[in-house]
Amino acid sequence: MRATGHRLRRNDWGRFYVTDECNACGICALYAPANFERSVDGSYYYLIQQPYDDWEEQAILDAMEACQMRCIRDDGDAS
C-alpha cells in the first residue's frame, strides 16, 4: 500500500491523528503511551485517545516533533 498522507481510520476522532505514512517506529508511544497504540499487524501506530489534559497534549506535541515520518498531525481546535 502506498502512503498518501491520509488519516488512518483507526484514530480516535478529534484534533490529533496519525496518517498512513507511519512506519511503526514507535517513537510516538514512547512519548505518549496513553495516547498511541500499535496496530494488530504491527505495521503502524494510531491515536487511541485524544489528550485528556495539558500533560497528555504536550506529550503528543513532543511526539509530533520527534516523529521522523511527520505522520502525526494536528487539525487545530476540535469542534
What mean pLDDT is reported for the chain?
A: 94
56 contact partners, CB below 8 Å, separation of at least 6: 32, 34, 35, 49
Domains along the chain?
Answer: 16-73 (3.30.70.20)
pLDDT tens for 28-56 read 999 999 999 999 999 999 999 999 999 99
- Give the whole-angstrom CA distance, residue 28 versus residue 18: 10
Query: 72 φ, ψ to 5°?
Result: -95, 125
pLDDT tens for 6-28 read 999 999 999 999 999 999 999 99
DSSP state of 62: H
Which of 9, 5, 44 lies closest to 28 in space, CA to CA? 44
Model pTM score:
0.91
pLDDT score, position 1: 55
